[in-house]
Structure formats: C-alpha cells, structure tokens
C-alpha cells in the first residue's frame, strides 16, 4: 500500500565497522504493539540461524544501553516497554553479536523502530551486523513494510 524507499548512509568504516544502527519509520496505521509482536516472531523464526532472546544485563557491555535505546530522529518518544533484546551467534566461530530493537512514536504519530547490532569483540565484522538487522527487518517487512529507512554511521 505504501511505497517503500530506502536511504542508506554507509558507516565511516564500511564493512569493517562493528556497529550497525538504523531507524525504520512505519505508517501511523501500524500499532507499536503489533510491530513488537512482529519483531519477536521474526527472532523466533530465525532461531535456527543463531538468533535468541537476550537479557540486557548479559550483553551491551561494550556500549551504554541508554545509547542503544536513544532515537536519533527528532521528537521520537521511546516506549521502554517495547524494546526487544536478542543475540546472534555465528555458527562457525561462535562470535556473539548483541542486538536491540526499540520502538518509539514520532511527533506525527508514526511508529519508529530503532535497530542496533554490535559485535562483542573485535573491530570489524565484514558486514555481519548489517546482515543481522536485515534478516529480522526482512521478516517483519513481509507483513509491515517500513515507509522510510535510515542507516547511521557510528
């Protein structure tokens, strides 16, 4: 129904970055709780690919959790009760990436999803964090396509 377009600003380090930050804007018709359910369902569906729910205290030691939950778009009010934390573990080397999907509501009542993925160790991930977020968003987009996407440099 809504035409979806993608605007991406690449990280300053490109594929060597160990962080992926993005914000996805959804139509005002999308309820925050519906988006929350779609994200948790997508993570469950991807569990065979190494995705698993996480407790915030177990991860995000590399970055302040409040920074992870802070929206960059002006005027977005975060819904702390609608933040989903998960991890993704690589199959071969067992590297763990922390991920967070936080939902907020913008000034025009649009629903905004902040996605964050970061490697627990190292300085580069060869695009794995971007892939982590992309897999979850692709699952969600099957039923709730975003109307705008911005990927931020870190």
Q: How far apart are CA 69 and CA 107, in angstroms?
A: 18
Q: Are 111 and 81 in contact (CB under 8 A)?
A: no
**The model's pTM:** 0.80
Q: Are 57 and 146 in contact (CB under 8 A)?
A: no
- Give long-range contacts, CB 8 A cutoff, 24+ apart: 58-61: 59/85, 59/87, 59/96, 59/98, 59/120, 60/85, 60/98, 60/100, 60/118, 61/120
* pLDDT above 80: residue 106: yes
* pLDDT above 50: residue 50: yes
- Region 97-102: mean pLDDT is 88
pLDDT band for 8, please (50, 70, 90 cuts): very low
- Region 130-149: mean pLDDT is 92
Of 100 and 69, the structure prediction assigns the larger pLDDT to: 100
- The 10s digit of each residue's pLDDT in 59-88 is 556 566 777 778 888 899 888 889 888 888
- Region 83-97: mean pLDDT is 84
Strands 51-53 and 77-89: antiparallel
């Amino acid at each position: 129904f809504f035409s979806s377009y993608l605007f991406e600003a690449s990280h300053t380090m490109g594929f060597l970055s160990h962080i992926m930050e993005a914000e996805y804007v959804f139509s005002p018709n999308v309820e925050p709780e519906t988006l929350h359910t779609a994200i948790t369902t997508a993570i469950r569906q991807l569990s065979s690919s190494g995705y698993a729910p996480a407790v915030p205290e177990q991860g995000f030691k590399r970055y302040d959790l409040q920074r992870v939950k802070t929206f960059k778009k002006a005027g977005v009010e975060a819904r702390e009760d609608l933040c989903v934390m998960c991890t993704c573990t690589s199959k071969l080397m067992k590297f763990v990436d922390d991920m967070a999907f936080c939902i907020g509501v913008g000034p025009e009542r649009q629903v905004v999803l902040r996605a964050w993925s970061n490697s627990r160790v190292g300085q580069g991930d060869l695009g794995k964090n971007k892939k982590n977020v992309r897999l979850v968003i692709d699952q969600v987009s099957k039923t709730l396509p975003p109307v705008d996407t911005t990927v931020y440099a870190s």
